[in-house]
Amino acid sequence: MRPKIIAGNWKMYKTPTESKDLVEGIKAKLTFPLGAAKVIVCPPFTSLALVQSLVSGSAIALGAQNVYFEDEGAYTGEVSPPMLRSVGCSYVILGHSERRQYFGETNELVNKKARKALASGLIPIVCVGETLEQREKNITDQIVTTQVRSVLKDISSGDVERLIIAYEPVWAIGTGKTATPQQAQDVHLLIRKTIGQMYAWATAEKVVIQYGGSVKPENSRDLLSQADIDGALVGGACLKADSFIAIIENAVLTSRK
Ligand code: 13P
């Protein structure tokens, strides 16, 4: 059984003071047993150390939103995997569509970062997903398959079983438009089949595939009930403790079914 994993991508929101309020709010409301479900928060770099001190010893794990593929060096503005490990990160989001769109990240770069993250003991949450134009042209399957094959290039089956794929249709991010549970399930199954072809079906069955794109308390239960949706990567709704907790509750509920 794959666990349901809920990750909150805070994007470029929350000062350290605001981060403290949010994490304390989440902790105060996380009073129910998580069972097999897992919770990750991914604040901006400037809040990582503080959030680590607040979640340490709790059921909440820490992730970053990006990383570079070298340990150290003259790379102004970048942050390395050992640096993330040193502030308690276990996870790192890679290849988010906003990084692809605004910072020119390619599948090749995302693959390089994913390999380095894995070698450094970080679990990558690797994002894939089609744009609206690509969906309208009926090339979603082709785009997503190419992304999955490229970002997983030269990653061993042992490592692929540890990482997380997040399917985030670009047209659903921050737009309030969600993929229907069936639309999302179809692409999740396609991703799993692609991994099955690259490795083995037994490997593909172990990979956690999250859905992201306007996940809210109201739609999370139906999405998380789908056979191949193993969690959610939440943007807007993770910035308030109440809505993030409501999504976590639905992950616990749907894990039990
Ligand atoms: P929203 O939930 O705000 O649509 O963002 C999704 C996302 O990009 C998570 O990484």
Q: Which residues of 182-215 are buried (b: 16+ CB within 10 A; e: fewer)?
A: eebbbbbbbbbebbeebbeeebbeebbbbbbbbb
Question: What is the arithmetic mean of pLDDT over 209-231?
Answer: 97
pLDDT category, 1, cuts 50, 70, 90?
A: confident
Helices and strands per DSSP (H, E), number in the chain:
12, 8
The residue nearest atom 1 of ligand 1, judged by CA position, is 235
Q: What is the pLDDT of residue 110?
A: 98
Q: Which atom of ligand 1 is nearest to the CA of 98?
A: 8
pLDDT of 256 higher than 80 = no
Residue for token pair 């059984």: 1
pLDDT category, 257, cuts 50, 70, 90?
A: low
pLDDT of 213 higher than 80 = yes
Instruction: Please tell me the distance between residue 68's alpha carbon and the centre of ligand 1 in angstroms.
Output: 22
Closest by CA position to 233, among listed 124, 153, 158, 133: 124
Q: Give the chain's mean pLDDT.
A: 97
Tell me the pLDDT tens digit for each residue of 54-74: 999 999 999 999 999 999 999
Instruction: Please tell me the distance between residue 166's alpha carbon and the centre of ligand 1 in angstroms.
Output: 11
Q: What is the pLDDT of residue 113?
A: 98
Q: What angle do CA 256, 202, 145 make, to 5 degrees?
A: 95
Ligand 1 pocket test, candidate residues 5, 11, 223, most atoms within 8 A of CB? 11
The binding-site residues of ligand 1, defined as CB within 6 angstroms of any ligand atom, are: 9, 96, 168, 173-174, 212-215, 233-237
The residue nearest atom 2 of ligand 1, judged by CA position, is 235
Q: How far apart are CA 207 and CA 157, in angstroms?
A: 10
Instruction: Please tell me the distance between residue 233's alpha carbon and the centre of ligand 1 in angstroms.
Output: 7
Q: pLDDT over 90 for what percent of the chain? A: 96
pLDDT category, 245, cuts 50, 70, 90?
A: very high
96 catalytic? Reply is yes
The residue nearest atom 7 of ligand 1, judged by CA position, is 235
Q: What is the pLDDT of residue 177?
A: 85
Residue 10: phi and psi, rounded to 5, are -75, -10
Question: What is the arithmetic mean of pLDDT over 80-95?
Answer: 98
